[in-house]
Structure 1
Amino acid sequence: MTSEIRLLHWPAEDRASFGRFTAVMADVQARIHAISGESSGVPVPRPPRVPTPQECAAMILKHRRDMRAIAGPDGDLFGDPAWEIALAVFQTDGRESDAALLDKAGLSATGIVGARWIGLLLARGWVERDEDGYLRATEKMVTALNRYFNGL
C-alpha cells in the first residue's frame, strides 16, 4: 500500500508510463509461463515432433504387415520381400538374427524366399554381416533410406 501511495505523488505521465511497463511485463511473464509449460499464460504453438527415419521404417513395415494380415491367405499378393527385409534391417540396431528379421518383415523364417532375398541384398551391397553374423545396413542403404524418409 505504501508504494501505491507513493505513485499518487508521481506526475500523471510517469504513472501512465509505469502502467504500460507493468502491462508489458505481465505479458512477458505470461509468455514465459506458457513456454515453460505452466498451466497459466498464453499458449505457444509447438511444431509436431518429426519421426526419425528408423521410426518411419517401423511404421511402414507395420502397415505392410497389417495389410497382409487383412488379406489373409492372399497376403502374399501384397509383399515386396526385399523392401520389407531392408526396412526390418534399417530399423534395428544390427543385433537380431536372420529369423527375427524375417519375422519382423512378415516372412517365414523357415522358407527359402527370405534367405534368397537376404542373399540378393548382401550381393548388391545393401546389407552386410558383422563379425557375429548379424545383418546390418550398409552405408549405401542408410544413405538411400535416410534420403527417402527425410523427403516424406
Structure 2
Amino acid sequence: MTCDFQLLHWPAEDRASFGHFAAVMAEVQARIHAISGETTGVPVPRAPRVPTPRECAAMMLKHRRDARAIAGGDGDMFGDPAWEIALAVFHAEGQESDAALLETAGLSPTSPVGARWINLLLTRGWVERREDGHLHATEKMVTILNGYFARL
C-alpha cells in the first residue's frame, strides 16, 4: 500500500514510465517461462543436438550393416574393410578384441582378410596395438575421422 501511495505523488510522466517498465518486465518474465517450459507459454524450438564423432561412427557402422543385411547374398558388394575396421576401432575406444572389431566391421574373425586390413591400418599409422593387446585409434586417425564427421 505504501508503494501505491508514493506512486500517486509522482508526476504523470514518471508514472507512465514506471507502467511501461512494469509491462516490459512482465513480458520478459513470460518469455523466460516459455523458454524454460514452465506453466503455459509458447515453446521455443531448440537446435538439435549434434552427435559426437564416435556416435557418427556407430551410426555409419549400423547403416552399412543394414545395407549388407538388405542385400542378403550380395552383401559383400557393400564391403570396404579398411573403412569399416577403422570405424569399429574408433567407436570401440580400445575396449574390444580383434575378433569383436572384425565382427562389428562385418568381417569373419577367422578370415585372413580382416588380419590383412588390420596390418595395413597398423602400417599406415591409423591404429596401434597397445599393452592391453587391443587396437586403439592413433592421433592421425582421430584427426582424420573428426574432420570427416565435422563435415557431414
Q: Is the 8 A contact 2:103 2:109 kept in 1?
A: yes
| In structure 1, C-alpha distance between the alignment counterparts of 2:137 and 2:27, rounded to whole Å | 51
**Deviation, structure 1 residue 95:** 1.7
Q: What is the root-mean-square deviation in Å for CA atoms of aligned residues?
A: 2.0
SS state at 2:128 partner: strand
The within-5 A match list for 1:57-72 is 57-72=57-72
**Deviation, structure 1 residue 71:** 0.2
The share of aligned pairs that are identical, in percent, is 78
Return 5+ residue gaps in structure 2 as ranges. none
Question: How many equivalent residue pairs?
Answer: 152
Q: Does residue 1:100 correspond to 2:109, yes or no? A: no
Return 5+ residue gaps in structure 1 as ranges. none
SS state at 1:146 partner: helix
| In structure 2, C-alpha distance between the alignment counterparts of 1:41 and 1:21, rounded to whole Å | 21
Q: Is the 8 A contact 1:127 1:138 kept in 2?
A: yes
TM-score by length of 2: 0.88
| In structure 1, C-alpha distance between the alignment counterparts of 2:12 and 2:88, rounded to whole Å | 72
TM-score by length of 1: 0.88
Partner in structure 2 of residue 112 of structure 1: 112
SS state at 1:128 partner: strand
Q: What per-residue deviation string (whole Å, max 9, x for no partner) do you get for residues 103-135 of structure 1? A: 111111121111111111111111110101100
Letter in 2 for 1:50: V
Letter in 2 for 1:113: V
**Deviation, structure 1 residue 45:** 3.4
Q: Is the 8 A contact 2:93 2:137 kept in 1?
A: no
Moved more, 38-47 or 97-106: 38-47
